[in-house]
């Protein structure tokens, strides 16, 4: 196989990451049968540090930086990410070459004994690795006891059995991709819990000057998903959010419009700002920017300032 027909695909080594990467490769092989694809497994900071909440690790790119460095150095040609892990500001020289069709972005409740959030017992113990989920769960039911839950999807499912938890909350998309939908007790509706920015989507990152790879990966780009994720990511960038900030957002295209809904929560869920906005498909970034500005003006700026002060205080005390 000549070099021009070889493509090295970077992926995290978890079972879910490899499942997602193999799906991307199968689609690319179907559309480009003359090419040979090889997976290069790369461990990230977020993979290596599993004994601390993501919100305390700080910074951005916890699950992407090492893959991006491999791209920049030419060790890989493509990096496959979960879109929700990708920082809103990409490293210089890199770009998103494709955003494939989105999986269902809802969150899912898994409980051995209870059908939904409403039926969980008083003071139920719920495991989640996400501040966004924690805040919205507490906004829905302040009696919940939220415990940090790190590790890959299989690990989190096992901890439901071993850590005396009444339930865990994870992304539906990961369960579906792994064939674990039979474990789901409830797909949590958006009126209770808005998803993370980009949840359910994949981002195919490439070097921005690599025309050969761009031509290959652009064949699996889904325009509707790309527009929706652009609106969400622009909102997140304007809010300067990350895994340290409880922000949820979901955009969808309807006819000639993109419709975006978002929420900003205090860490304990006792204060929330929720709003929605829409606009032309060609103005997805503007929709995200305008909604973010309106939410900041309507109380979001105060919530975000208090959250950042709290995290800074924690850092200063460690």
pLDDT in tens, 74-131: 999 999 999 999 999 999 999 999 999 999 999 999 999 999 999 999 999 999 989 9
SS3 assignment for the chain: CCHHHEEEEEECCCHHHHHHHHHHHHHHHHHCCCCEEEEEECCCHHHHCCCCCHHHHCCCCCCCHHHHHHHHCCCCCEEEEEHHHCCCCCCCCEEEEECCCCCCCCEEEECCCCCCHHHCCCCCEEEECCHHHHHHHHHHCCCCEEEECCCCHHHHHHHHHHCCCCEEEEEHHHHHHHCCHHHCCEEECCCCCCCCCCCCCEEEEEECCCHHHHHHHHHHCCHHHHHHHHHHHHHHHHHCCCCCCCEEEEEEEECCEEEEEEEEECCCCCCEEEEEEEEEHHHHHHHHHHHHHHHHHHHHHHHHHHHHHHHHHHHHCC
Confidence grade of residue 315 (pLDDT, cut at 50, 70, 90): low
Residues of the chain with CATH 3.40.190.10: 1-101+201-221, 107-188
The hierarchical CATH code for the domain 1-101+201-221 is 3.40.190.10
Confidence grade of residue 3 (pLDDT, cut at 50, 70, 90): low
pTM beyond 0.75, yes or no: yes
Average predicted confidence (pLDDT) for the chain = 93
Q: Percent of the chain, pLDDT > 90?
A: 84
* pLDDT one-digit tens code per residue, 268-278: 999 999 999 99
Residues of the chain with CATH 3.30.160.40: 222-318
Q: Provide mean pLDDT across the span 201-211.
A: 98
How confident is the model at residue 242, as a pLDDT?
Answer: 61
Which residues are marked as active site? 85
How confident is the model at residue 1, as a pLDDT?
Answer: 43
Q: Which residue has the higher pLDDT, 82 or 318?
A: 82
Which two structure tokens, joined as six digits, stand for 191? 């009126």
Assign domain 107-188 to its CATH architecture: 3-Layer(aba) Sandwich (3.40)
Confidence grade of residue 264 (pLDDT, cut at 50, 70, 90): very high
Query: How far from the centroid of its chain's Cα atoms is residue 280's Cα?
Result: 25
How confident is the model at residue 115, as a pLDDT?
Answer: 94
Q: Which residue has the higher pLDDT, 51 or 11?
A: 11
How confident is the model at residue 140, as a pLDDT?
Answer: 98
* pLDDT one-digit tens code per residue, 149-176: 988 899 999 999 888 999 999 999 999 9
How confident is the model at residue 151, as a pLDDT?
Answer: 85
In CATH terms, the fold of domain 222-318 is: Double Stranded RNA Binding Domain (3.30.160)
* pLDDT one-digit tens code per residue, 14-27: 999 999 999 999 99
């Amino acid at each position: 196989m000549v070099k021009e027909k070889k493509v090295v695909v970077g992926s995290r080594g978890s079972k879910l990451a490899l499942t997602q990467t193999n799906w991307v490769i199968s689609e690319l092989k179907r559309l480009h049968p003359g090419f040979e694809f090889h997976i290069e497994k790369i461990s990230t900071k977020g993979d290596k540090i599993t004994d601390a909440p993501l919100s305390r690790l700080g910074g951005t790119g916890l699950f992407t930086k090492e893959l991006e460095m491999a791209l920049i150095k030419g060790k890989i040609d493509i990096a496959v990410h979960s879109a929700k892990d990708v920082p809103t500001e990409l490293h210089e020289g890199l770009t998103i070459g494709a955003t494939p069709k989105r999986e269902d972005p809802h969150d899912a409740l898994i409980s051995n004994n209870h059908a939904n959030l409403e039926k969980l017992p008083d003071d139920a113990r719920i495991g989640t690795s996400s501040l966004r989920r924690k805040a919205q769960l507490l906004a829905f039911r302040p009696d919940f006891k939220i415990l940090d839950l790190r590790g890959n999807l299989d690990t989190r499912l096992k901890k439901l059995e071993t850590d005396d938890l009444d339930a865990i909350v994870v992304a539906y998309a990961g369960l579906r991709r792994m064939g674990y939908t039979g474990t789901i007790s409830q797909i949590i509706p958006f009126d209770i819990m808005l998803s993370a920015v980009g949840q359910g989507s994949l981002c195919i990152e490439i070097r921005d000057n690599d025309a050969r790879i761009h031509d290959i990966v652009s064949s699996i780009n889904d325009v509707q998903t790309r527009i929706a994720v652009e609106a969400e990511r622009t909102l997140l960038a304007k809010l300067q959010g990350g895994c340290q900030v409880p922000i949820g957002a979901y955009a969808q295209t309807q006819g000639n419009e993109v419709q975006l809904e978002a929420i900003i929560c205090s860490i304990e869920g006792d204060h929330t700002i929720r709003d929605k906005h829409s606009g032309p498909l060609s103005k997805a970034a503007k929709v995200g920017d305008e909604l973010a500005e309106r939410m900041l003006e309507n109380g979001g700026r105060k919530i975000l300032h208090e959250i950042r002060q709290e995290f800074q205080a924690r850092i200063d005390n460690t």
